Amino acid sequence: MKMNVKNIKGYDNYYINEPRDVHDSEGALGTKEYVYAPLFLRQAREIMGDEAFFACLKDVYHTYIWKTADTKGIIEIFRMHNRSDK
């Protein structure tokens, strides 16, 4: 999968894989998490297409229901569902 999971299109200085403490000295969720997560999801949907994207979200949901999700696991699920050449 060539989908860029580190950089969000147009926001080259922000990485979704960084631990929370990189963004906020207290480790709390900040504005960046709320702004960039939807941008990542929108870019993923554009790259993957609707069918694969929504199947991916369903898989993420069923994998992590009642569990704590981690970035690595979610990215692996996105990679499994992405069949585009991007």
35-80 confidence digits (pLDDT tens):
788 888 999 999 999 999 999 999 999 999 999 888 889 999 999 9
Average pLDDT over every residue of 10-23: 49
pLDDT score of 1:
38
What is the model's pLDDT at position 69? 86
Higher-confidence residue of 49 and 12: namely 49
Task: Please check whether residue 12 lies inside any domain of the structure.
Answer: yes
Neighbours of 4 (CB within 10 A): 14
The helix-helix angle for 50-64 and 31-48 (nearest 10°) equals: 130
Which of residues 69 and 29 earns the better pLDDT score?
A: 69
Domain that holds residue 68: 7-81
User: Is 61 a domain residue?
Assistant: yes
Kindly state whether residue 20 falls inside one of the protein's structural domains: yes
Cβ–Cβ under 8 Å, residues 78 and 1: yes
Domain count, the chain: 1
Q: Does some domain include residue 1?
A: no
In a domain, 86, yes or no: no
